[in-house]
């Protein structure tokens, strides 16, 4: 079974130091990492994420505004508002010279309108509570692997409360905070059980698509390597 590892919680100071240690640990195990970076990240965070992306990790935009109300609005967000939010978040990323490969919503769930806005913006790689997906031009998933989000140390009753569940997962997705010491242990257990590390782009087929700037123009220097 493919193993996907994602981590959020990047911030200056101790969280960034924890992220460095996490990356070192995963590099030693040859496990790629998917970094979930919030909108308007601190410049130090953006620089770190950009460096990891150049090294082969994946960077996904986690939400489009700093106060995201636990991710619940993304489940019902209409396409027009999703477009406006996404445009602002992408402008912030571009200002920090941070390329992103796709999207992961807080709460792990997105509306049809959000998926359509992501596809229109060229962010056609989506990570949600059911797995990883490649989005078609209209936002409809065209490829993917199913697997619920597993948070090391979170009791099973919490996981059972997910809005959508996968009965027979084809993917093992371990997600945690960069400072979560249980994450590396969970990775070791998954590897010991035969899970095979994989980059998120590899799971749905790599494609090279031009990212559009905020003004709609295509910048050839901002091609994605994974989405």
Residue at 227 is within a domain:
no
Which pLDDT does position 67 carry in this prediction?
60
Residue at 74 is within a domain:
yes
b/e map 52-64, b = 16+ CB within 10 Å:
bbeeebbbbbbbb
Which pLDDT does position 61 carry in this prediction?
93
The single residue listed with the structure tokens 């953006």 is 46
Cα 160 to Cα 156: distance, rounded to the nearest angstrom: 6
State the chain's mean pLDDT as an integer: 83
Residue at 98 is within a domain:
yes
Which pLDDT does position 31 carry in this prediction?
95
Residue 39 has pLDDT above 90, yes or no: no
Number of domains in the chain: 1
Residue at 226 is within a domain:
no
Q: Supply the range of the domain harboring residue 148.
A: 2-206
Residue at 223 is within a domain:
no
Task: Output 136 or 210, whichever has higher pLDDT.
Answer: 136
State what percent of residues in the chain have pLDDT above 90: 53
Residue at 150 is within a domain:
yes
Q: How does residue 49 score in pLDDT terms, banded at 50, 70 and 90?
A: very high
Which pLDDT does position 40 carry in this prediction?
86
Q: What is the CATH number of the domain that holds 77?
A: 3.20.20.370
Residue at 95 is within a domain:
yes
């Amino acid at each position: 079974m493919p193993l996907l590892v994602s981590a959020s919680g990047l911030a200056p100071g101790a969280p960034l130091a924890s992220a460095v240690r996490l990356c070192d640990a995963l590099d030693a195990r040859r496990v790629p990492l998917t970094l979930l970076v919030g909108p308007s990240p601190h410049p130090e965070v953006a620089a770190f994420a950009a460096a990891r992306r150049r090294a082969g990790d994946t960077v996904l935009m986690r939400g489009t505004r700093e106060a995201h109300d636990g991710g619940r609005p993304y489940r019902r967000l209409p396409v027009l508002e999703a477009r406006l939010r996404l445009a602002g978040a992408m402008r912030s990323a571009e200002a920090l010279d941070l390329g992103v490969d796709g999207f992961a919503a807080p709460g792990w769930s997105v509306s049809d309108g959000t998926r359509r806005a992501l596809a229109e913006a060229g962010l056609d790689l989506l990570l949600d509570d059911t797995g990883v997906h490649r989005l078609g031009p209209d936002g409809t998933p065209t490829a993917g692997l199913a697997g619920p989000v597993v948070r090391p140390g979170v009791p099973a009753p919490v996981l059972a409360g997910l809005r959508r569940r996968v009965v027979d997962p084809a993917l093992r997705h371990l997600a945690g905070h960069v400072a979560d010491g249980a994450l590396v242990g969970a990775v070791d257990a998954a590897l010991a059980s035969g899970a095979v590390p994989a980059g998120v782009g590899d799971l749905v087929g790599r494609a090279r698509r031009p990212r559009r700037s905020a003004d709609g123009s295509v910048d050839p220097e901002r091609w994605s390597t994974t989405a």
